[in-house]
Structure 1
Amino acid sequence: MTIRVLLVDDEELVRGGLRAILEARHDIEVVGEAADGAVVVPLTASLRPDVVVMDIRMPLVDGIQATRDLRRRLDEPPRVLVVTTFGDDENVYAALHAGADGFLPKRARPAEIVDAVRVVARGDSLLFPAAIRALAARHVAPLQGPAASSRAVGGREVRSLTAREREILTLMARGLSNGEIAGELYLGLQTVKTHVSSLLRKLGARDRTQAVITAYESGLVPLT
């Protein structure tokens, strides 16, 4: 299956570089380009990309708001991969909150960019455990007391998770795949998948990245 990609960046040179990298692969097609987040929703509705590769900083509508608009205004939004400059931690965290499925630095190697597009296109989150933990540590006020693990963040009911779901979420925060979690807990792979689907639904999380962020923000998973 060919992965359809929309490139959104206000720098024409960057878009051209990304197009050259992605279209060199037989399974990826760049179906369109945009120079600002203001046109992302209508372009996506007409072009139907599988993945939007989105810059964060743009002059009119930034990538954070554009990602939020995609999630709110489209019934079947595409996957979103944000590409950032080094050290843009605050905006990366905001983009993940808005519903981005992963992030990459602009200095990433071509092979890393291609792999990232493929990962998010198949429905996985591009989750870097150490990076997510570091972001959370800088942007989440430490929670104190026994109620920390049961605090609902943004309407997400962390306290509704079962003991097994909490255990699996903790392993997800370490970056373990479903197969690795199954091995760690001596469970069947399908059982783990069922638990993951359940905890995502209970947390109101679109994917693993958002679930892990919620785990840190609620205090369920320690930041240290």
Structure 2
Amino acid sequence: MTIRILIADDHHVVRRGLVFFLKTQKDIEIAGEAKNGAEAVQLADSLRPDLILMDLMMPVMDGIEATKEIKKKHGNDIQILMLTSFSDQNHVIPAIEAGAAGYQLKDIEPDELVESIRKLLSGENSLHPKATNHLLTRISKQDPPHKIHALTKREKDVLAELTKGKSNKEIASSLFITEKTVKTHISNIFSKLEVSDRTQAALYAVKHNLA
């Protein structure tokens, strides 16, 4: 499967470097480039990439606002991987809450970036260790929703499989249920745990020993 990627970054040299390297990967195609968040939103609509490499700080519209707009329109049809220089919680938390499925720093090795892209699109987590730490700290300060809205045994089973990075199809196969049933369970899990995506659900499960 070819992965179509949109690169959103206001620095031309960064975009050129990413394009140059990613074009060497046989399974990756550069769908387009955006130099600000507003362009990223427009190109997401017209190009429908599989994934967007999104910078945080950009003119006109920043990466967080762009992510919110794109996720509102396209949901999980377009995945967003934040690629930025900022690792503090004031940037990490809003980015994940906006809907970014991954968060990596720009000092990442090229091969690791490609691996992160592939992992994210296969349903696995793609978070820099610093981002993970900030999220776990944030979660630990909150009253756990699962104490109020208890998960059923089957929902716990699905959550455990999801935390392993499995796709809906793989979860269905492991638990001998249909993909439609898996989607229903995941929707209920998100609602009960008050999370918005698989990454947040997996982190929550690990933090609270649910998986």
Asked if these proteins are the same fold (TM beyond 0.5), I'd say yes
For 1:208, the equivalent position in structure 2 comes to 198
> How far, CA to CA, are the matches of 1:76 and 1:130 in structure 2?
23
Counterpart residue type for residue 200 of structure 1? I
For 1:221, the equivalent position in structure 2 comes to 208
Q: Report sequence identity in percent.
A: 31
* Cα offset, 1:50, TM superposition: 1.1
Counterpart residue type for residue 7 of structure 2? L
TM-score (norm 2): 0.77
Aligned residue for 1:74, secondary structure, equals: helix
* Cα offset, 1:133, TM superposition: 4.9
> How far, CA to CA, are the matches of 1:40 and 1:105 in structure 2?
19
For 1:45, the equivalent position in structure 2 comes to 45
Show CA shifts across 1:44-78 (max 9, x none): 11122111110111122111111110011337741
Counterpart residue type for residue 41 of structure 2? V
* Cα offset, 1:213, TM superposition: 4.9
- Seen in structure 2, the aligned counterparts of structure 1 residues 76 and 94 have a Cα distance that, compared at 3 Å, is closer
- Seen in structure 2, the aligned counterparts of structure 1 residues 55 and 215 have a Cα distance that, compared at 3 Å, is same
CA contact (8 A) 1:132 1:213 kept: no
> How far, CA to CA, are the matches of 1:77 and 1:8 in structure 2?
17
TM-score (norm 1): 0.73
In structure 1, the gaps of 5 or more residues are 152-158
For 1:14, the equivalent position in structure 2 comes to 14
Which of 164, 180, 184 in structure 2 is aligned with 1:176? Answer: 164
Root-mean-square deviation (CA), in Å? 3.3
Query: How many residue pairs end up in the alignment?
Result: 201
Show CA shifts across 1:155-196 (max 9, x none): xxxx15213433653675xx53449xx9xxxx9714488686
- Seen in structure 2, the aligned counterparts of structure 1 residues 193 and 101 have a Cα distance that, compared at 3 Å, is farther
